[in-house]
Homo-oligomer: A and B are copies of this chain.
Amino acid sequence: MSTENRSGCPIASALDLLGDRWTLVVLRDLLTGKRIYKEFLESPEGISTNILADRLRRLEECGLVERVLYCDRPARYRYAPTRKGADLLPTLQALCRWSNRYDGETWTPPTDFMRDTPSQRLQKLRRQAQPG
């Protein structure tokens, strides 16, 4: 990814980071509580390890994702969306409404995913992440 925007257009600039088939799928997983590689790899789209690694790295570089070391040997990381990442929730919700309207084969997301504000979603993820 270039750090230069193609133009000052906010749509084109967002797509410089998000405009591919996978980045928003990874963000969907982060916003539904997936945190470790194994969990992302289990999603039905079948993302490959190298695409997953690349997208998580770019999302971290751009401040949409935080990475936390949770195991030293071997080094393992847990990922979580930042506020900047969670603020893409309205974009994901809008895409869901569009697909559900025009593509009858798509599933309806859980009600709370569709209704949550970014803050509500982040609070839920943080509660889940706390050791029981």
Contact = CB atoms under 8 A, between A and B. Distances in A.
Nearest to A99: B10
Given A15-B24, A16-B21, A24-B15, A45 B98 contact: no
Interface string A65-84: 00000000000000000001
A87 interface: yes
B99 A14 contact: yes
A123 interface: no
Contacts of A99: 10-11, 13-14
A94 B94 CA distance: 8
Q: What is the total number of copies of this protein in its complex?
A: 2
A51 interface: no
A44 interface: yes
A45 B96 CA distance: 27
A106 B45 contact: no
A45 B94 contact: no
A10 B100 contact: yes
A38 interface: no
A103 B45 contact: no
7 contacts: A5-B103, A11-B24, A11-B96, A15-B20, A15-B95, A90-B94, A93-B94
